[in-house]
Amino acid sequence: MWALDSGRLVAACFVLAGHLSLYFGGPLWVSVAPAGLSWFFVLSGFILATIYHDVELRAPTLRQFYLRRFVRIYPLYLLACVFGVVVLWIGNPSMTRQGLAALGIPGFSSFDLPENLGNGYLLAVFAKTLAFISPFDAHTTARYLVNSPLWSIYCEVFFYALLPLLVITLRRITSPAMLWVTAALLWLLEGAIILVVTNGQLGEAADWSLVHASLYTNPLARLPEFMIGISLALARQRNVWRPSRRVIWVGVASCLGVLNFSLLLGSLPQLQPLGLYWLVVPANAVSIALLASLPKTSPRIESASVALGLLSYAIYALHWPMLELAYLLQSRYLLPVPLLIIGTAAAVIVVGWLVVRWYETPARKQLHALFNSPSARVPTT
């Protein structure tokens, strides 16, 4: 599934572009970040269900699965948390809520933090973030303080905990058509949750604290997207039909057209960010199912695609603190915004690649050897 690994990089760049827009302007591109995140959630369920389609509730199997997940995400997650705290100390030495504005941190992601944060509170949130429990802090926005985009990793950890049960439950559906119907019902379920919780207000009129805490960053609210990926992976395994390359690329191009249309709609304030859900999730789901049907390619392309997939995680985990630093530089030295955007994006990609090459890959190999996983292959999914 080499095309899906490459697709991860595209999704990570979507998130980066959206957050660059949030920091430095450009309303159209803000809407691409939710599209990229939805891709990650659906893709995560799809790939994991493809690999662990025969998972059983047995101790050795579960131990292998959870250790592989830990090895895959935690080394870079740890670095991203440390990096985020260091940047907070650099940009906000007084550790006040007002001081967060110097780093460009949006008000909706810090509105209920204590006015005087203090090093003690920051370290407490840092410890909770390392343990994936900062969403349980008394302050709703504490989950965003250390490194805002890492909220999606909390969601992934929650999904990992449920994956064996979800796969065992959904694989009881033996018909590929019924699995596609299940995916459609999950899509409608999440859409209904969005409409009920927001009372139909999906744009700037909505309460952003409600949208972000109760929906956008809530693992329970995002779980249907993960389950959609699982359903499509199981349907693919049971379906003997394999589309031709032409059908695949026409289908993917159509999905990209839908995504581009949704991005144009995203320039309308009343459709940001969850109003785009109705178009983005099905477009992502269908494109993932189609790209997974592409035949194997040359070993060189396969290897390059895996590397791009690894780079995507580094870009996602490290870009927010780098945007904070860029905002701090821009406010102090009045750098030209276009140059700053291009330079920051390039720096994120270069730093991400260096981190993958010199830190994440060696760390994963060492942890893999330490845990003595039954598989000799370093996990890359």
Query: What mean pLDDT do residues 118-130 have?
Result: 94
pLDDT exceeds cutoff 90 at 262:
no
The partner residues of 96 in beta bridges, in order of sequence, read 116
Torsion sign (Cα): 274, 10, 253, 285: negative
- Tell me how crowded residue 93 is: count the other CB atoms within 10 A of its CB: 11
DSSP 315-340: HHHHHHHHHHHHHHHHHHH---HHHH
Q: Is 342 within 8 Å of 24 (Cβ atoms)?
A: no
Residue 376 in this model has a pLDDT that exceeds 50: no
Q: How confident is the model at residue 41 (pLDDT cuts 50, 70, 90)?
A: very high
In a domain, 88, yes or no: yes
SS3 of 105, please?
Answer: coil
Lowest mean pLDDT among 29-33, 157-161, 183-187, 358-362: 29-33
The rounded distance, in Å, linking the Cα atoms of 184 and 281 is 10
SS3 label, residue 217: coil
254-259 mean pLDDT: 78
Number of H helices, E strands in the chain: 14, 0
- Does residue 217 lie within any of the structural domains? yes
The whole domain housing 229 covers 26-295
Q: For residue 324, is it within any domain?
A: no
Q: Above 50 in pLDDT, residue 197?
A: yes
- For 285-308, b where at least 16 C-beta lie within 10 A, e where not — what string? bbbbbbbbbbeeeeeeeeeebebb
- Choose between 296 and 46: higher pLDDT: 46
DSSP, res 13: H
Instruction: Give percent above pLDDT 90 in the chain.
Output: 56
Arithmetic mean of pLDDT over the chain = 87
Which of 219, 106, 87 is CA-nearest to residue 153? Answer: 219
User: Which DSSP symbol is given to 116?
Assistant: B
Buried b (16+ CB within 10 A) or exposed e, 315-347: bbbbbbbbbbbbbbebeeeeeeeeebbeebbee
- Interval 297-341: pLDDT, tens: 889 999 999 999 999 999 999 999 999 999 999 888 888 888 999
> Is the pLDDT higher at 142 or at 205?
142
Average pLDDT in the 357-368 region?
95
Predicted local distance difference test score (pLDDT) of residue 42: 97
- The CA distance from 39 to 42, in Å, is 5
- Residue 237 falls inside a structural domain: yes
Whole-number pLDDT of residue 378: 45
**Which of residues 82 and 198 earns the better pLDDT score?**
82
Q: Domains in the chain: how many in total?
A: 1
Q: How many CB atoms lie within 10 A of CB 98?
A: 11
**Confidence at 110, pLDDT banded by 50, 70, 90:** confident
Angstrom distance (rounded) from CA 338 to CA 341: 5
User: Residue 183: inside a domain, yes or no?
Assistant: yes
Length of the chain: 381
* Residue 371 belongs to a domain: no
Q: Is position 51 within any domain?
A: yes
305 domain-assigned:
no
- Look at residue 200 and tell me whether its pLDDT is greater than 80: no
Average pLDDT over residues 72-98: 94
